[in-house]
Structure 1
Amino acid sequence: MKYGDDMTPQARTPDDTDTGTDEIPSTTLFAMFANERRQQILAYLIRRPGDVLLGDLAEYIAINEGNATQEWYERICTDLYHSHLPQMRDCGLVTYDLETEAISLSVERGVLSPYLELTTNV
């Protein structure tokens, strides 16, 4: 049983079970893992302690996708900045500092690892 801010019991819903965290429903986690690029982002972040820089993440993805050209790198940076990172930040998976371009996980690595294993071979 979980409790609200006023400590009254609240029933759990199917959406907030099995993730190891009450903050991110399992359906949201599966939606985040449904995209291959987000799988790569999470795989990279799980393997790195602390913050990573947007440029380093984009370089990893470009190499992983087999197209490490400057043009592809810039496209990935744009895609991460405007699409994937905001979605992942809004659901509580990552934090992203716009000034320093530092990205970090907002949840325990152990919570994400089983989902990553189910969805990818990254």
Structure 2
Amino acid sequence: MATNRAAGEAQTDLDEPTPDRGEIFGLLSNQRRRYAIHYCKREDGPVELGDLAEHVAAWELEKEIAELTAAERKRVYTSLQQSHLPTLERAGMVVFDDRTIELTEEAAELDVYLDIVPGDSVPWGVYYLGLSVIASIVMGGLWLEVVPTGTIPALGWTTLVVGLFAASSIVHVVQNRRMRLGEVERPP
């Protein structure tokens, strides 16, 4: 009998639909839900609803927790409890049990959808395309012997191009880590 129950449980898990891309963007379109996910990721374990509400309220109002009023805390607490956490739970991103919230494994997949590009920045895809064009011009110039190799040998030009890609990749990785939910004190 236990075998059937285990098989039935496994079947139920397989039948649960995973959120599609549009649903995930819908989840992440709300700042309060992003803040809730950020706090849970940062704490790396179950969190209390009261602590979550305090931090979310402080971030939203750009205040220190000690400066929050009871009304500000309660407004966020109620909103999280009645709307946002049940929405995240239905999507399979959190387990919300009474007053405790814990992220699920599915929440780790949200990072893919949070490639945040600041308003004054060039998207990384465009940047790498431009870098590839420059590298192609340099390499084509070397093949056609148009690029001078007297002062800088061909290996030096190649090293320069590879170095540009390596440095760009390092900057890209560092910037993406800073923009991930749960990685820094204040949410991006």
TM-score between both structures, scaled by the size of structure 1: 0.72
The 3 A distance-change label for structure 1 pair 44 and 31 is: same
Given that residues 59 and 73 in structure 1 are in contact (C-alpha distance below 8 angstroms), is that contact kept between their aligned partners in structure 2? yes
Q: Which runs of 5+ in 1 are unaligned?
A: 6-21
CA–CA distance in 2 between the matches of 1:31 and 1:62?
A: 21
1:50 aligned partner, one-letter code: G
The 3 A distance-change label for structure 1 pair 114 and 76 is: same
Q: Secondary structure at the match of 1:104?
A: strand
Aligned-residue sequence identity (percent) comes to: 33
Q: Secondary structure at the match of 1:65?
A: helix
Q: Secondary structure at the match of 2:95?
A: strand
Residue of structure 2 equivalent to 1:93: 93
Structure 1 consecutive aligned stretches of length 4 or more whose deviation exceeds 3 Å: 116-121
Equivalent positions of 1:2-81 (< 5 A) are 23-66=18-61, 68-81=68-81
CA–CA distance in 2 between the matches of 1:109 and 1:79?
A: 20
Given that residues 51 and 103 in structure 1 are in contact (C-alpha distance below 8 angstroms), is that contact kept between their aligned partners in structure 2? yes
More helix by share: 2
1:102 aligned partner, one-letter code: T
CA–CA distance in 1 between the matches of 2:112 and 2:87?
A: 20
Deviations 1:11-59 (A, max 9, x none): xxxxxxxxxxx72212111100011111111111122211001001001
Given that residues 93 and 107 in structure 2 are in contact (C-alpha distance below 8 angstroms), is that contact kept between their aligned partners in structure 1? no
> Displacement, 1:116?
3.3
> Displacement, 1:103?
0.1
CA–CA distance in 2 between the matches of 1:44 and 1:83?
A: 17
CA–CA distance in 2 between the matches of 1:28 and 1:111?
A: 13
> Displacement, 1:109?
5.0
> Between Structure 1 and Structure 2, whose CA radius of gyration is higher?
2
1:53 aligned partner, one-letter code: E
CA–CA distance in 1 between the matches of 2:112 and 2:38?
A: 11
Q: Secondary structure at the match of 1:32?
A: helix
Given that residues 39 and 116 in structure 1 are in contact (C-alpha distance below 8 angstroms), is that contact kept between their aligned partners in structure 2? no
More strand by share: 1
Given that residues 94 and 107 in structure 2 are in contact (C-alpha distance below 8 angstroms), is that contact kept between their aligned partners in structure 1? no
TM-score between both structures, scaled by the size of structure 2: 0.48
Q: Which runs of 5+ in 2 are unaligned?
A: 1-10, 12-16, 118-178, 180-186
CA–CA distance in 1 between the matches of 2:29 and 2:70?
A: 27
Residue of structure 2 equivalent to 1:105: 103
